[in-house]
Structure 1
Amino acid sequence: MAPPLSLLHRTASAFWRTSSRILRSSPSSTHPGSICTRCRRQQQIRFSSNHQMADDPRWISVVDHPAQIVRTGQKHGPGLIILALIPITAFALGTWQVQRLDWKTKLIAKFEDRLVKPPLPLPPQVDPDAISEFDYRRVYAKGHLRHDQEMLIGPRMHDGQDGFLVVTPLERGKGESTVLVNRGWIPKRLQNQADRPLGVPRGEVTIEGLLREPWKKNFFTPENRPEEGKFYFPDVYQMAELTGSQPVWIEETMVPDLVEAYDREAKGIPIGRAAAVNLRNNHTQYIFTWYGLSLATTIMLWMIVRKRPNEAVRRVRQNRHW
């Protein structure tokens, strides 16, 4: 028996509606050349499995352009240059100290040779320019000490005690010049002349001592204040101008004797210096110091230059074509 016409009509309508929805949802309905996303991915996977990197003409092999192991940072920076200057400078200073040692040794030998010679009488007028040729030469002179023009230089230490150096002009005979005499050291408690009557001799005296060159002031030493009677270093030219003397400096000497020094201190008599050369000669220590520093810094420089870079400072520089 044939189906009714109405049933066939409903079945055909449903099929047509379903077919229309499928055609509208498919991209090929509007763009015949387009491919769906799933199909495109499948094609890429198949292409990738069959395609090799060497087939690309732009591809560069690692064998042709290998990686390079390099050290980061500059190999020779400013710090290394400064470190290289240290041993050179220290070696130069050590060599200079060798020359200074030779000069100081010869100077001390010359002064010690003058000390063993008998004392000379001080001429009536002393040429200040010739004093350098008689430095540390033993001399003697007669005259009267001008205690009213006494000057105290200090503070000065002696055996752990604070005190002063007593400088007194020596007024010589008629036609002879006045010179400055460093009589020696006194303790601070005896700075007043009234407290040391035995240390202020009257009448004619004979002074024997060393003829010395004028000193140069230390940078750290304050300036003298003569208007206040305060002297911190022996400014020979200044003291000579204040007292009307020649700029001639004599250091009175005595035989080094501990008992004699204690007796003089008790009586208020200035303690004179020994007739010896008191120049410092520390250049040997400086030579070992500078040469030792030069050697040590040279070894340090060699270790730094020769040191291989460790793993922490190694880096791989990749090729820019990768």
Structure 2
Amino acid sequence: MSSLGTKCADRLLSNILPIPSKNAIARSTYLLSSRNQQYRGILTSTVDWKPIKTGRSPNDDSRKDGSFGKKIVLGLMFAMPIISFYLGTWQMRRLKWKTKLIAACESKLTYEPISLPKSFTPNMCEEWEYRKVTLSGHFLHNEEMFVGPRKKNGEKGYFLFTPFIRDDTGEKVLIERGWISEEKVAPDSRNLRHLSLPQGKHLKVICLVRAPKKRGSLQWAKKDPNSRLWQLPDIYDMAKSSGCTPIQFQALYDMKDHPMIKEDTKKESPSNNSTSSFWKFWKRESSDSENQTQTTTNNVSRLNTGEENPTDQTIEFDERQFIKAGVPIGRKPTIDLKNNHLQYLVTWYGLSLLSTIFLIVALRKVKRGGVISQDQMIKEKLKHTRKYM
């Protein structure tokens, strides 16, 4: 019965599927292939573990070649927080120093003017900077020098530098008298000559001591040696060309009408009476006629008694009047030192913080994705297999 059943099954299969050959080997191969066709619809995984995400592989030669560059970048990332933190600390020290320096200069501006010592030298300018001093002597208007052009209230002009001979030592120094309009550069075009071109041998001028600065390597140098015009206040070059001591003095901002002439000079120079009728036009008119009468009486009494100033010092001019008359406008006594160290401090400390954050992120990324050796890769695979399989 068993042999009969086998024959029936073979005959049934032969009727359903054509057998290419009666050979036993071919028949068995055909039967196996037909059985495998029944399981082709079932999908099985060909991977026994989930791949590990890695940034590099030991067999990757191209990544090995770029390892030196990565080390350099990583070294710079380590150095950046340290360097920026040091620079921020340095700016903190600079901030304290600049704050003390500005406070000291502001306190010097409150001092009363004193006579300039006879033994004053250029090396003392740093210590005496922003100190008010009184100079006695006379100007050399035929040796005037100009720096500019510079604009003031939208009008083109220049800073006027005039050599000054001291009475006590005979030393020749430079005084920056102030800003003057371009139209009044020529001395003959100026009015109010007792203020624009003060004459006499014993003039008193109140100035501010400034430390002369050297011209930078990127700043323009004067090309024409015979010219009296400079683009920048190069005190050393200006003093050399005029034979002055390299000391910078700045005349103070003063709108009052007071000629800088002493008693003996007034007796020698009668030009005040000739110009008085002209510069009365620039005076401010008083609303009270009694005040004008009193002012005239005081001026006459001062002339009779030999007092120093024959004019009313309470009268003040306007800047526009000085510009039209050609009178130099001095600089206001203010501190021009810049203190930006707080901004630099915040910038460097902020850069140190950001670079530290970037360094931490980069180190965490390298720690997660880097495979250093083959053994470590195998360990990571086994660890992953135990966790998920």
Which structure shows the bigger proportion of residues in strand conformation? Answer: 1
Corresponding position of 2:230: 231
The answer to whether residue 325 in structure 2 is matched with residue 267 in structure 1 is yes
The answer to whether residue 86 in structure 2 is matched with residue 92 in structure 1 is yes
Corresponding position of 1:58: none
Distance 2:182 2:79 in 1: 50
**Alignment match of 2:163 (pick from 156, 165, 169):** 169
Shift in Å at residue 201 of structure 1? 2.7
**Matched-pair contact (CA < 8 Å) for 2:159–2:180:** yes
Corresponding position of 2:141: 147
The answer to whether residue 197 in structure 2 is matched with residue 200 in structure 1 is yes
Distance 2:119 2:366 in 1: 76
Tell which deviates more after alignment, 282-291 or 193-202.
193-202
Cα root mean square deviation, aligned = 3.7
The answer to whether residue 184 in structure 2 is matched with residue 185 in structure 1 is no
Shift in Å at residue 103 of structure 1? 0.9
Tell which deviates more after alignment, 97-106 or 236-245.
236-245
**Matched-pair contact (CA < 8 Å) for 1:125–1:177:** no
Q: What is the correspondence of 1:119-158 to structure 2 with a 5 Å cutoff?
A: 119-158=113-152
| Structure 2 SS opposite 1:109 | helix
Structure 1 unaligned blocks of 5 or more: 1-40, 46-61
Corresponding position of 1:71: 55
Change over 3 Å in CA distance of 1:308–1:92 after alignment to 2? closer
Shift in Å at residue 259 of structure 1? 6.9
Change over 3 Å in CA distance of 1:292–1:146 after alignment to 2? same
Structure index of larger Rg: 1
Corresponding position of 2:334: 276
Corresponding position of 1:22: none
| Structure 1 SS opposite 2:334 | coil
**Matched-pair contact (CA < 8 Å) for 2:118–2:168:** no
Shift in Å at residue 300 of structure 1? 2.0
Change over 3 Å in CA distance of 1:188–1:296 after alignment to 2? farther
**Matched-pair contact (CA < 8 Å) for 1:126–1:248:** no
Tell which deviates more after alignment, 137-146 or 231-240.
231-240
Which amino acid is 2:213 matched to?
W
Percent of paired sites with the same residue: 34
Distance 2:116 2:230 in 1: 26
Shift in Å at residue 301 of structure 1? 2.1
TM-score when scaled to structure 2? 0.58
Distance 2:354 2:182 in 1: 49
| Structure 1 SS opposite 2:212 | coil
Cα deviation 1:23-68 (Å, max 9, x = unaligned): xxxxxxxxxxxxxxxxxx99xx9xxxxxxxxxxxxxxxx99xxx97
Corresponding position of 2:96: 102
TM-score when scaled to structure 1? 0.69
Change over 3 Å in CA distance of 1:187–1:285 after alignment to 2? farther
Distance 2:350 2:323 in 1: 46
Change over 3 Å in CA distance of 1:83–1:248 after alignment to 2? same
Shift in Å at residue 107 of structure 1? 0.9
| Structure 2 SS opposite 1:155 | strand
Distance 1:211 1:241 in 2: 19
Cα deviation 1:156-193 (Å, max 9, x = unaligned): 34344442211001123264312110011123333333
Distance 2:246 2:134 in 1: 16
Change over 3 Å in CA distance of 1:146–1:84 after alignment to 2? same
How many residues align? The count is 260
